[in-house]
Chains A and B, each alone.
Chain A
């Protein structure tokens, strides 16, 4: 439906003709999209447009929903994500996810971050400490918590909890980070920290972010995809999409002529 874009980095995720039905409801309608490596790609659109469904297809989170039918192809590094030999658990290790509402486990800060490596079989405490420190540093939280790693994660502020969840996702060394409204429950300062962190993280990770905040999409992303009624309407470099979108529907949405 759309001419291929030329990216300034290799393609990490290739989505071809992806459709998703929840029972009889078509949530995603033949979406074809390529997501470049080590870039931030934002998914925008009104509620119910399919952007979160799309995001959840990228690490097979939709598998767990009853009555879901998924057709089409999702490839990461050329490998079919929905292939028969693929283990969804391995997929979710390679592709981490951060949710709208921070959801730390009711455990210590240390244990939250160590949780992933532990369930993947790591027992060496020295190695675990290294991973916890590295992950917390990457999530820009280390300086605030390094002297109280045994404190409960639930005592952290909302913004810190969200960064802890990012650290937890990073601890298993994913290649791709999916973020579903990661800052919508945070105040402007905590939001700014998350956005700054996203800029840091894109050096090492491919990031796909769903956001309702269009200014946020404009600030943090390199590419933006606009979804409406389950269809991908327009996909392009963020600065083009926000200054000179090619489709009238995109223009109406981002200028607030909608509904």
Chain B
């Protein structure tokens, strides 16, 4: 791809792409730290995650500002236009993922103050899958990789399946011992957050496909295998 004749525009597009990636990296770390706080019952770490959410929010605002500036001043077309509109939408998803990480951290604080609950469920596996989808969608964004985006979209079903299993087993736990209800509800909430994170990662991957191909695959009943 040739460079823009307009150097300022070129460098601002690079700046936009970099900001999205920085925000993505931060959000991934938020998920990782929130899960660590939950599993290691580390309330101070959970507080750090909650406090750091405002940095994620600031990225959201800054990327919006930069995108609007680029739209207004350079009247971008074609792939540039698609990059900028994609950045605008991706940041909304990243910001929500950030909120969900903070929600997990809040549950981690509550759970750390209560006796441990040992559910027969694999929360760490769910977390690593969800976080892997976020990572994959951002990788696809950087590399403009449609195949990887489709892979991310396809893995959403696995997450939904795991979440359903988890709900089922937590319901059994609560039915067997009413004293677990409060804690089990919190764990359930964490699982729901992870499932939502995967949904947002899917949105990002879909937007990447739009960015690269100019075609929308959103709201289709099945994920196409290739484009």
Instruction: Give me the interface of A with B, judged by CB distance under 8 Å.
Output: 214-215, 218, 242-245, 250-252, 254-259
User: A259: nearest residue on chain B (CB-CB)?
Assistant: B5
Residues of chain A within 8 A of B214, CB atoms compared = 243-244
Docked-complex contact B78 and A255, CB < 8 angstroms: yes
User: A257: nearest residue on chain B (CB-CB)?
Assistant: B2
Docked-complex contact B81 and A252, CB < 8 angstroms: no
Residue from B1, B3, B5, B77 in contact with A242 in the complex, judged by beta carbons closer than 8 Å: B77
Further 19 A-B residue pairs, CB within 8 A, beyond A215-B75, A257-B3: A214-B77, A218-B77, A242-B78, A243-B82, A243-B214, A244-B215, A245-B78, A251-B79, A254-B78, A255-B4, A255-B77, A255-B79, A255-B80, A256-B4, A256-B5, A257-B2, A257-B5, A258-B5, A259-B5
B6 at interface, CB cutoff 8 A:
yes
B189 at interface, CB cutoff 8 A:
no
Contact (A254, B4) CB under 8 Å given A243-B82, A243-B214, A244-B214: no
B161 at interface, CB cutoff 8 A:
no
A66 to B213, CA, bound (A): 47
Closest chain A CB from B217 CB (angstroms): 14
Docked-complex contact B1 and A243, CB < 8 angstroms: no
B interface, how many residues as a size bin? 10 to 19
Docked-complex contact A254 and B77, CB < 8 angstroms: yes
B76 at interface, CB cutoff 8 A:
yes
Residues of chain A within 8 A of B4, CB atoms compared = 255-257
A259 to B76, CA, bound (A): 17
A243 to B80, CA, bound (A): 9
Interface string of B155-181 (1 = CB under 8 A from A): 000000000000000000000000000
Residues of chain A within 8 A of B78, CB atoms compared = 242-245, 250-251, 254-255
A242 to B9, CA, bound (A): 18
Residues of chain A within 8 A of B81, CB atoms compared = 242-243
Q: Which of B1-52 contact A (CB under 8 A)?
A: 1-6, 9
Q: At the interface, is chain B mostly helix, strand, loop or mixed?
A: loop
A255 to B84, CA, bound (A): 13
A151 to B92, CA, bound (A): 60
Docked-complex contact B2 and A258, CB < 8 angstroms: yes
Residues of chain A within 8 A of B6, CB atoms compared = 256
Closest chain A CB from B111 CB (angstroms): 48
Residues of chain B within 8 A of A250, CB atoms compared = 78
Interface string of B76-97 (1 = CB under 8 A from A): 1111111000000000000000
A sample of 24 inter-chain contacts (CB < 8 A) reads A214-B77, A215-B75, A218-B77, A242-B77, A242-B78, A243-B78, A243-B81, A244-B78, A244-B213, A244-B214, A245-B78, A250-B78, A251-B78, A254-B78, A255-B76, A255-B78, A255-B79, A255-B80, A256-B4, A256-B6, A257-B1, A257-B3, A257-B5, A258-B5
A252 to B81, CA, bound (A): 13
A251 to B80, CA, bound (A): 9
Residues of chain B within 8 A of A254, CB atoms compared = 77-78
User: B83: nearest residue on chain A (CB-CB)?
Assistant: A255
Closest chain A CB from B207 CB (angstroms): 14
A259 to B3, CA, bound (A): 10
Residue from A242, A255, A257 whose CB has the most chain B CB atoms within 10 Å = A255
Closest chain B CB from A211 CB (angstroms): 14
A250 to B78, CA, bound (A): 9
Residues of chain B within 8 A of A215, CB atoms compared = 75
A-B interface, 7 closest residue pairs, ranked by CB to CB distance from nearest? A244-B214, A257-B2, A254-B77, A242-B77, A255-B80, A251-B78, A255-B78
Residues of chain A within 8 A of B76, CB atoms compared = 255
User: B1: nearest residue on chain A (CB-CB)?
Assistant: A257
A79 to B4, CA, bound (A): 44
Residues of chain B within 8 A of A256, CB atoms compared = 4-6, 9
Closest chain B CB from A36 CB (angstroms): 23
A45 to B206, CA, bound (A): 33
Docked-complex contact B2 and A252, CB < 8 angstroms: yes
Residues of chain B within 8 A of A218, CB atoms compared = 77
A153 to B111, CA, bound (A): 84
Q: Which of B110-168 contact A (CB under 8 A)?
A: none
Residue from B75, B79, B82 whose CB has the most chain A CB atoms within 10 Å = B79
Closest chain B CB from A44 CB (angstroms): 11
Residues of chain A within 8 A of B79, CB atoms compared = 251, 255
Residues of chain B within 8 A of A243, CB atoms compared = 77-78, 81-82, 214
Residue from A242, A254, A257 whose CB has the most chain B CB atoms within 10 Å = A257
